[in-house]
C-alpha cells in the first residue's frame, strides 16, 4: 500500500498534466489503505479547490518552474501547503511527512526544495503577507475570475468562497417508498443529524456527510443523494399522469429517477445518453430505486426517428457544460478548464436544443439546464435558439438566485445548493 500523501501527489500531478480527476480517483484510491483513504481524498479535493492560490504561493518561493515530469513534486508542495492552512495536522509533522514522501517518490533531489519552501512559508507572518493577485486569493483561475467579475460582480466573492468548500450532503427521499418525516426519524434512530429543506418536498440535508452505506434503507431505494438545486428540476417540469417524457442527457440518472418517483403514472420515461458506460449508471440507479425507465443509447443532437415519434410532452435537457457552478464537486476544472472551452460548450448546447426540438410535441415544454454560471452557456444559448425557432419562454422565480433574461440562475452557496441555470421553453400549440 502507498501512503496517502504520495497517492494524493500523484493524482494532483496527473491533473496538472491534463488528466481528469473523475477518471483518476477511483482506481488510485485502491492503492491506499482503508484508514488512509479519507486523508488522501481530503488532500486531493482540498488542494485542487485551493490550487490557484497554492500555485501563487509556490511561485513566490520557487524561482525556477518545475518541469512537467516533476509536477508530482509541485503537487506534493501544494498539498502540504493545504495541510498547513486548512487541516489540523501539526506543522512539524506536515514538514517531516512531506519530506519523507519525496523520498518515497524517489526524488531525493527535491527534499531540500520542499523543506525550504515549507520552512519559508512557516516564517511568513501570515498568508495575507504573501503577495498574491486578487484571483489567486479567491482561488480562481484568472480568466474565470475576470468573467465572473464582469457578469456577477456583486456575487464574485460568494461564488469563489462556495468553490472552496465541501458541498453539503443533500438527500432526496423516494416518495414511492417513504415520506420525508418518516425518513428523518430513521436518520435520528441511526444517530445521523439532519434537517428538511423547506423549499423541497423530499429534500433533506445531513449535518455531516457520511458514506451512502450508512444511510438507512439506501440499498432498498428509500433515498438517493442529490443536490438541492438539482431537485428543482422535477418541480419545473411538473410531470403529469399519462405523459411521455425524455431525459435527453440522463446519466447517471438522478433526475430521471426523480421524475418517476414524483409521477409514477407517466406513460413512459425515456432516459438516453450518448455514453454506453454512463448508461449503466442509469440502469444501476433505477434498479436500486425500483423504477423502470426506458434506457436508450442516443446522441441528443441527432435522436433516432423511432424515439422521436410520436413525440414527447416534456423534455429535460441537462446539457454538458463548463461545470463552473459545481467547481467544489469538480475542482480539477480550476486547472483543466480554459476560456476557449466555453464557446465550444455553447455550440454543443445549441446543437442539442436543435436536435431535441423536433421531438417535442406542440404545446410541450423543454427544460434547459446547465451547471454553469456563465452567460455564454445559459441565456446566450437560449437567445440564439429563440432567434431560430418559435419559442415561448415561461418565467421562472425561485426563493434563491437571480432572474436572467431567459431563465433563472441559482448561485452556488457554501451551505446551500450548486450553481444551476434553468430555462423553461414551450413549443406553441398548432
Distance of CA 179 to the CA centre of its chain: 27
Is 406 one of the annotated active-site residues of the chain? no
Are 244 and 270 in contact by the 8 Å Cβ rule? The answer is yes
Question: Is residue 286 within a helix (H) or strand (E), and if so which, with residue range?
Answer: helix 276-289
Helices and strands (DSSP H and E) totals, the chain? 18, 13
Classify residue 410 as exposed, middle or buried by CB count within 10 Å of its CB (0-12, 13-18, 19+): buried
CB atoms within 10 A of CB 324: 26
Q: Which residue has cell 415520506?
A: 179
Are 245 and 315 in contact by the 8 Å Cβ rule? The answer is yes
Are 115 and 108 in contact by the 8 Å Cβ rule? The answer is no
β-pair type (408-409, 421-426): antiparallel
Alpha carbon separation from 405 to 227, 402, 408, 421 (Å, rounded)? 25, 10, 8, 12
Distance CA 235, CA 324 (A): 23
Classify residue 63 as exposed, middle or buried by CB count within 10 Å of its CB (0-12, 13-18, 19+): exposed
Vertex 392, ends 388 and 397: CA angle to 5°?
Answer: 125
HSE, CB side, 13 Å, CA atoms: give it for residue 51: 24
Give me the catalytic one of 40, 257, 272, 371. Answer: 371
Vertex 121, ends 120 and 123: CA angle to 5°?
Answer: 65
Q: Which residues are catalytic?
A: 371
Amino acid at each position: 500500500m502507498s501512503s496517502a500523501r504520495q497517492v494524493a501527489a500523484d493524482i494532483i500531478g496527473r491533473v496538472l498534466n491534463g488528466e481528469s480527476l473523475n477518471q483518476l480517483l477511483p482506481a488510485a484510491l485502491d492503492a491506499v489503505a482503508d484508514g488512509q483513504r479519507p486523508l488522501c481524498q481530503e488532500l486531493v479535493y482540498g488542494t485542487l479547490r485551493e490550487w490557484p492560490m497554492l500555485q501563487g504561493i509556490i511561485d513566490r518561493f520557487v524561482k525556477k518552474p518545475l518541469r512537467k515530469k516533476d509536477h508530482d513534486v509541485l503537487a506534493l508542495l501544494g498539498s502540504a501547503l493545504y495541510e498547513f492552512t486548512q487541516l489540523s495536522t501539526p506543522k512539524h509533522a506536515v514538514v517531516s511527512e512531506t519530506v519523507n514522501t519525496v523520498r518515497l517518490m524517489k526524488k531525493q533531489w527535491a527534499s531540500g526544495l520542499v523543506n525550504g519552501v515549507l520552512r519559508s512559508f512557516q516564517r511568513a507572518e501570515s498568508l495575507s503577507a504573501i503577495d498574491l493577485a486578487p484571483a489567486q486569493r479567491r482561488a480562481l483561475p484568472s480568466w474565470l475570475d475576470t468573467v465572473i467579475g464582469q457578469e456577477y460582480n456583486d456575487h464574485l466573492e460568494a461564488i469563489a468562497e462556495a468553490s472552496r468548500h465541501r458541498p453539503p450532503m443533500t438527500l432526496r427521499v423516494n416518495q414511492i417508498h417513504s415520506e420525508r418525516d418518516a425518513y428523518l426519524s430513521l436518520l435520528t434512530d441511526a444517530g445521523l443529524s439532519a434537517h428538511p429543506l423547506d423549499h423541497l418536498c423530499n429534500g433533506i440535508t445531513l449535518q455531516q456527510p457520511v458514506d451512502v452505506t450508512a444511510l438507512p434503507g439506501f440499498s432498498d431505494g428509500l433515498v438517493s443523494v442529490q443536490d438541492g438545486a438539482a431537485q428543482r428540476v422535477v418541480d419545473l417540469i411538473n410531470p403529469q399522469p399519462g405523459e411521455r417524457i425524455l431525459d435527453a442527457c440522463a446519466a447517471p440518472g438522478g433526475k430521471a429517477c426523480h421524475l418517476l418517483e414524483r409521477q409514477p403514472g407517466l406513460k413512459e420515461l425515456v432516459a438516453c445518453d450518448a455514453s454506453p458506460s454512463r448508461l449503466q449508471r442509469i440502469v444501476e440507479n433505477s434498479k436500486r430505486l425500483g423504477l423502470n425507465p426506458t434506457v436508450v443509447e442516443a446522441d441528443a443532437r441527432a435522436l433516432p426517428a423511432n424515439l422521436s415519434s410520436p413525440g414527447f410532452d416534456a423534455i429535460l435537457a441537462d446539457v454538458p457544460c463548463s461545470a463552473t457552478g459545481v467547481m467544489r464537486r469538480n475542482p480539477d476544472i480550476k486547472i483543466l478548464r480554459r476560456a476557449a472551452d466555453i464557446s465550444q460548450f455553447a455550440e454543443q448546447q445549441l446543437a442539442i436544443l436543435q436536435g431535441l426540438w423536433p421531438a417535442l410535441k406542440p404545446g410541450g415544454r423543454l427544460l434547459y439546464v446547465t451547471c454553469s454560471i456563465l452567460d455564454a452557456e445559459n441565456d446566450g444559448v437560449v437567445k440564439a435558439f429563440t432567434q431560430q425557432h418559435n419559442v415561448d419562454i415561461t418565467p421562472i422565480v425561485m426563493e434563491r438566485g437571480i432572474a436572467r433574461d431567459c431563465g433563472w440562475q441559482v448561485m452556488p452557496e457554501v451551505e446551500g445548493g450548486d450553481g444551476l441555470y434553468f430555462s423553461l421553453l414551450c413549443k406553441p400549440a398548432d
